[in-house]
Amino acid sequence: MPELPEVETVARGLRRRVLGRRILGAEILHSGVIAGEPENFARELTGRQIVQVSRKGKALIIELEPALGHAADFLVVRLGMTGQFTVRRTSEFLEPHTHVRLTLDERETEIRYRDTRRFGRLRCITEDELRVLLASLGPDAQTITEEDFLRAARLRHGAIKSWLMNQKGLSGLGNIYADEALFLSRIHPLAQPGRLRKPALLRLHRAVLKVLGRAVELQGTSFRDYLDIEGRPGNFLPRLQVYQRTGLACRRCGSRIRRLVVGGRSSHFCPRCQPRPRR
DNA sequence: GCAAGCCTGACC
DNA sequence: GGTCAGGCTTGC
């Protein structure tokens, strides 16, 4: 599942491989992954040079050189659950569930978008629309300051796990890293942010930065589908402490890891290291 | 038939 | 403000 570290890895890969290159054509094999009109999408991209690749939270942002007759200067991608970008030779075997092909300048390589579940979306938007999108996301989870983190958490009711994942207080965490950060900071997924003491919130802030930093270094987690630009899996999987380890021994205390549904999402935690909050 | 991320809509 | 269910899709 692409969360911040996976999206960061993809962004770095794209930066390395396609920065400065021009998109000669866009072929849409399945329009379901395109937000808006597919014809418009293809028209906006055709002939455009890629001048920057960045991200905020889990949103991948590909900036195009401004060009006459083109309003949308940004290709923004949300990878959903199984979205994948690869840079491949045009002649290479086209893997199943490839939905978009962006031919690059010499016509020998292309950017491919693959997405088995088709929960991901690609959209071409203007700078104004990008601004609105970015404003709808909280500070990036990798760079959020202590102050912003405390401020965002303080007023919140409801489960801290839901807050970590809702992209508004901070953006970039999904199920894997939310569970991992809560474990590292020894906080129960049902704890209420507004009721936690400051030291606990500071622990959580540090845990978020730590787990994301390490996961970025290891190029993300390949639980099921995630692969980078070159088709390689990430290396964080063996470092997972709780995610998808239900029934296995906690690496810290040996208790069995439990699973609990919070906000409709499965949460994995150690009942001893992360005691249930007093209510 | 469930699970995943994200959106929408219903409800309190 | 908050929760919850439903829909999207497909592989297990």
Ranges of H-type helices in chain A: 4-18, 38-45, 127-135, 146-154, 160-165, 175-184, 198-217
Nearest-CA residue to the C1' of B5? A80
Residue A223's pLDDT band (cuts 50, 70, 90): confident
pLDDT category of residue A154 using cuts at 50, 70 and 90: confident
Distance from C-alpha of A29 to C-alpha of A93, rounded to nearest angstrom: 15
Q: Please give the structure tokens belonging to residue A28.
A: 């849409």
Answer yes or no: A3 catalytic. Answer: yes
- Mean of pLDDT values over A204-213: 95
Judge whether residue A165 contacts strand B, using its CB and a 7 Å cut-off: yes
Q: Does A233 qualify as catalytic in the annotation?
A: no
- Give the mean model confidence (pLDDT) for residues A169-177: 92
Active site residue A17: no
pLDDT band at A187 (very low <50, low <70, confident <90, very high): very high
- pLDDT the model gives residue A277: 80
pLDDT digits 0-9 by tens, A12-49: 999 999 999 999 999 999 999 999 889 999 999 999 99
Residue environment code for A205-236, b if the CB has 16+ CB neighbours within 10 A, otherwise e: bebbbebbeebbebbbbbbebbbbbeeeebeb
Q: Where does the pLDDT of residue A106 fall: very low under 50, low under 70, confident under 90, or very high at 90 and above? A: confident
List all residues 6 or more positions away from A100 whose beta carbon is below 8 Å from its beta carbon. A26, A27, A28, A29, A30, A33, A34, A112, A113, A122
- Check residue A155 and give its pLDDT: 81
Q: What is the mean pLDDT of residues A178-202?
A: 94
* Nucleotide nearest to A80 in CA–C1' terms: B5
Q: Which residues neighbour A60 within 8 Å (Cβ) at sequence distance 6 or greater?
A: A7, A10, A11, A14, A53, A76, A77, A78, A79, A85
| Confidence at residue A279, expressed as pLDDT on a 0 to 100 scale | 60
**Cβ contact A266 with chain B strand, < 7 A:** yes
Report the mean per-residue pLDDT for chain A: 92
Is the pLDDT assigned to residue A224 strictly greater than 80? Answer: no
CB atoms within 10 A of CB A95: 13
End-to-end CA distance of chain A: 33
In this prediction the pTM is 0.95
Please give the average per-residue pLDDT across A222-247, as a whole number. 88
Known catalytic membership, residue A58:
yes
Nucleotides, chain C, CB distance < 7 Å: 1-6, 8-11
pLDDT tens track for A87-101: 999 999 999 999 999
3-state secondary structure of A66: coil
- Alpha carbon A223 to chain centroid distance? 14
pLDDT average, residue stretch A137-146? 94
- Out of A265, A271, A272, A277, which one is annotated catalytic? A265
pLDDT at A206: 96
